[in-house]
Amino acid sequence: MSQTTNVYLVTGASGFLGQWIIKQMLKEEEIHEIRMMDKVINPELLKLKEECNSKMQLKTFEGDIRDKALLQKACCGVKTVIHTACIIDVIGAVEEEELEGVNVKGTQLLLEASIQENVKFFIYTSSVEVVGPNAQGDPIIDGDEDTVYKTNLKFPYSKTKHKGEQLVLKANGQQLKNNEKMVTCTLRPMYIFGENSKFILRYIDDAIKTGNILVRNSRPEALVNPVYVGNVAWAHVLLSKALQDPEKARRIGGKFYFISDDTPHMSYADLNYEVAKDLGFRIQPRLTLPLPLLYVIAFLLELVRDILKPFIRYTPYINRPLLTMLNTPFSFIYKKAKKDFDYSPCYSWEEARKRTSEWIASVLPQHREYVKCPSNTYKTLCK
């Protein structure tokens, strides 16, 4: 395949963000082919072929991100890789070895395949959690890429995402077999919300069980700036287009960018309320218990987990790093992304809130039926 052909590979294509990136890319006439890779390809993605323009092709690659042969095949003839595939886990439900294998080793193997196949551009979807909050709960208000912060990551997820990000940034300028040099860049989105968010689904499910009352798991003053999934996808598309310009590529290569939008600063709990309030949901005015007491409970649950570890796997519903994340003011601006590759949100807060609320309304009957029939599995419900 000609190296001048504009072919994209999107890993994690069936994921929350991956599907949005592909939908945004379908609107770009200069893209000739989109390759969608995931462990299991969502059947809905196959329907997108009908939305392609006549010149664009969609291909699927189904398998594990650690499969070297699959990666080599998927990267052959590709110009740009957008790597979103990862395991997200903030409660310790996934073994650290598996997190390391997918989030770090998978990224390394994809980079190696990209270098072997002369992939020119490599974009990595990182996370704000590679920064913090740290164990002390030190806040950041409207930070940026130059903000100095003492980071001591506690989540295995955060650690593995940070390792993956560093691998990608260090690969910038790597010599390719065709004597060109690879250009890499990473995006650090804030907490992503929107349609098909499994995290919002979980909160809605719990609220239905308690009479449509959302549990407050974060203090109102713990302000963060969530970002709508459509805007994060748009940032990926804009960055990939900017990389085509050699001058911009020189400026962008090897750097990371925070991605937020114009969603008002609010706590995680209040975000859930904002997108669900029109449907009759209410929210607790304060934390169920004082925060210091919640830390004590989390510590005891972690202790039980560690004692039981040699015998059974027990995953507490809360842990101290998660409490810190939920209750620390932590926000970043997107000024540098706007300056370097013209990023600005394409969805307003009101539109994002409305779209998310309408999606919740569409799945609400299923959730209420789930509460009546607890034998139904969550997996079945969310098909």
Query: Which residues are part of the catalytic machinery?
Result: 161
DSSP E strands: which ranges in 167-326?
A: 183-189, 192-193, 213-214, 227-228, 255-259, 282-283
- Residue 214's φ and ψ, nearest 5 degrees, are -75, 130
Answer left, alpha or beta for residue 4, where phi above 0 means left and psi between -120 and 50 means alpha. Answer: alpha
**What tokens does 360 get?**
């919740």
Degrees, nearest 5: CA angle 263-267-271: 55
**What tokens does 379 get?**
């997996």
The residue type found at 232 is V
On the question of a cis peptide bond just before residue 133, with omega within 30 degrees of 0, the verdict is yes
For the residues of 179-194, what is the DSSP string, one character each?
S-B-EEEEEEE-SEES
**What tokens does 344 get?**
């600005």
| Max CA distance (Å), the chain | 63
- Residue 308's contacts (CB-CB under 8 Å, 6 or more residues apart) are 314
DSSP E strands: which ranges in 137-275?
A: 140-143, 183-189, 192-193, 213-214, 227-228, 255-259
**What tokens does 47 get?**
């329907």
- Residue 279's contacts (CB-CB under 8 Å, 6 or more residues apart) are 357, 360, 361, 364
Whether the Cβ atoms of residue 329 and residue 141 lie closer than 8 Å to each other:
yes
How many CA atoms within 13 Å lie on the side-chain side of 224? Answer: 26
Whether the Cβ atoms of residue 346 and residue 357 lie closer than 8 Å to each other:
no
Dihedral sign computed on CA atoms, order 162, 165, 171, 173: negative
